[in-house]
Amino acid sequence: MQQFVNVTLTGLISGSVYAAFALALVLIWRSTRIVNFAQGSMAAATSFIALALIQAGQSYWLALVVALASGFVIGAVIERVVIRPVEGGPELNAVIVTLGLFVAIQALIAIVFGSSFESFPAPFGLRGFTVGETTIALTPNSIYVLVAVVLTMAGLIALFRFTRLGLAMRASAFGQEVARLLGVRVGRMLTLGWALAAVVGSLSGLLIAGGGLVYPAYMDALIVFGFVAAVLGGLDSPVGAVVGGLTIGLALSYVSAYLDPALVNLAALVILMVVLLVRPGGLFASSTARRA
C-alpha cells in the first residue's frame, strides 16, 4: 500500500511535467498545425544555459529566469527564420524541418557544453516528507514542481481568456485570414505563440532536470511522453494535454515500478498505439481535424 502511494505520487509529479511539455506542443499545434519535434532539444539547450550560470556561481532563480528568457528568444527566432518558410506548406516538410532542428540543436549542445552527464541542482530539498513513521515520495522539490506547473497553466489560461493579446492569438489560430482582415498582426501572434510554447517547454525541461542528471539527449524520452500525452488529449485541447500528461505519468510510473524500468518507453508506445487505434481523436477531441 505504501509503495502504491509512493508510485502514484511519483507518477503524478512526473505527469505534471509531461503535462506542461504536452501543453507546449499543443500551443504550437493550435497556432501553426505543426508538431514541434525540436521542443525537447530547445528545452535541453535552455537547461544547459541555466546549468552554465549555476556552475558559474549564480543562484538557481536567476538561472531559471535567464533560461526561460532564452527559451522565449530561441522559440521566436526559430519560428521567424526556419518555420515561417514551411508554414502552411506540405505537412511532411514541416515535420522534417522540426526533426532536423531536433538533431541539430542536440548536437550543438554536445559541441558547446560537452556530452558528459552533469548533475543539475534542485532549488528545494529532495528528502521526502515523513508521515508518522514512514517517508513518502513527496519532497519539497516536487511540491515546487507542482506549484510551478499549476502557476504556468493558470497564467496561460488568464492570458488566453482575459487579455486582448490572448484574444488576438486565439483569433489568429482560429482563422488566419479573418483575423488578418480584422487587423490582427497574425505573423507576430504566431511568433509569440512559438516563443510562449518554448518558454513552457523550457520550464518543463528545467523541472525534470532538477535534482537529476542532464546530458544533451536527456529530453528524448520526454518528447515521446509529451507527444503521447498531447495525442491522448487530442493535440487540440489544452485541458486534454494536462489530463493526458497526468495519465501518462501515472501509467508509466506503475509500469516502471511493477513491471520493469526498461519497458517504460515501450509502454508509452503501446499506449499511443492503443489511443490512436481506438480513439484517434483523443480523449478530448474537439474537432474532426484529423483524418486518422
Partner 1 sequence: MTQPPDTPVVSTGEISSEAPVQATAAANAPTASAGGGRSFLPANTLLRHLLVLVACAVGAVVLLEITDPFTNSQLAQLTYYAIAAGGLTVLTGLNGQISLGHGALMAVGAYTTALMLDADEPLPLPVVLLAAVALATVVGALVGVAAARLHGPYLAGATLALAVGLPGLAVYYGDLFGGEQGLRVRAPRAPESFESFIDLVSGNPPSATKWLAYVGTICLLITFFLLANLVRSRIGRTWRAVRDQEVAAELAGINLGAWRVLAFVVSAACAGLAGGVLALVVRLAAPSGFTLVLSLALLTAIVIGGLGSLVGVLLGSALLVFLPPFVTDLGADLGLNSTEAAQLAPFVYGLVLVVVMIFAPAGVVGTIRMRWLTARARRAARGAGS
Site for partner 1 in 128-157 (CB under 8 A): 156-157
Does residue 262 touch partner 1 according to CB under 8 A?
yes
Min separation Cβ 194 and partner 1, Å: 15
Min separation Cβ 5 and partner 1, Å: 26
Q: Which of 68, 136, 146, 239 binds partner 1 (CB under 8 A)?
A: 239
Judged by CB under 8 A, the chain residues 169 through 188 that form the site for partner 1 are 170, 173-176
Q: Which of 65, 126, 182, 269 binds partner 1 (CB under 8 A)?
A: 269
Does residue 229 touch partner 1 according to CB under 8 A?
no
Does residue 1 touch partner 1 according to CB under 8 A?
no
Q: Record the cell numbers describing residue 187, joined without a space.
A: 505573423
Judged by CB under 8 A, the chain residues 208 through 227 that form the site for partner 1 are 216, 220-221, 223-224, 227
Size of the site for partner 1 (CB under 8 A): 75
SS (H, E, C) the chain: CHHHHHHHHHHHHHHHHHHHHHHHHHHHHHHHCCCCCCHHHHHHHHHHHHHHHHHCCCCHHHHHHHHHHHHHHHHHHHHHHHHHHHCCCCHHHHHHHHHHHHHHHHHHHHHHHCCCCEECCCCCCCCCCEECCEECCCCHHHHHHHHHHHHHHHHHHHHHHHCHHHHHHHHHHHCHHHHHHCCCCHHHHHHHHHHHHHHHHHHHHHHHHCCCEECCCCCHHHHHHHHHHHHHCCCCCHHHHHHHHHHHHHHHHHHHHHCCHHHHHHHHHHHHHHHHHHCCCCCCCCCCCCCC
Min separation Cβ 220 and partner 1, Å: 6
CA-to-CA dists, residue 32 to 57, 123, 189, angstroms? 39, 35, 10
Q: Which of 119, 134, 163, 287 binds partner 1 (CB under 8 A)?
A: 287
Q: Which is nearer to partner 1, 12 or 86 (CB)?
A: 86
Does residue 268 touch partner 1 according to CB under 8 A?
yes
Q: Which of 73, 111, 126, 151 binds partner 1 (CB under 8 A)?
A: 111
Q: Which is nearer to partner 1, 108 or 136 (CB)?
A: 108
Min separation Cβ 172 and partner 1, Å: 10
Does residue 125 touch partner 1 according to CB under 8 A?
no
Judged by CB under 8 A, the chain residues 39 through 78 that form the site for partner 1 are none
228/268 Cα distance (integer angstroms): 7
Judged by CB under 8 A, the chain residues 74 through 103 that form the site for partner 1 are 82, 85-86, 88-97, 99-103
